[in-house]
Amino acid sequence: MKVIVDQKKCRGSLECIKTCPQKAISLVNGRAVIDPAKCDGDGICIPSCPNGAIQPVD
């Protein structure tokens, strides 16, 4: 599964960064950014976001 961050919803809570075991998420300009080269698509980060900014994409 591919995962994206809706930049309009992201508030930089850091919860997704703490949750991601692959360390595929970083904060850039106060918003989460996913590195597709590191992301394995497990989706663990999706429920961790309190703002619902992380979403699966088919």
Residue 10 Cα distances to 19, 20, 25, 41, angstroms: 15, 16, 12, 19
pLDDT of residue 58: 79
Residue 26 Cα distances to 14, 37, 53, angstroms: 9, 13, 14
pLDDT of residue 12: 97
Q: What is the pTM of this model?
A: 0.91
- For the 2-57 domain, the top CATH level (class) is alpha beta
Per-residue pLDDT tens digits for 15-58: 999 999 999 999 999 999 999 999 999 999 999 999 999 999 97
DSSP H helical segments within the chain, as ranges? 15-19
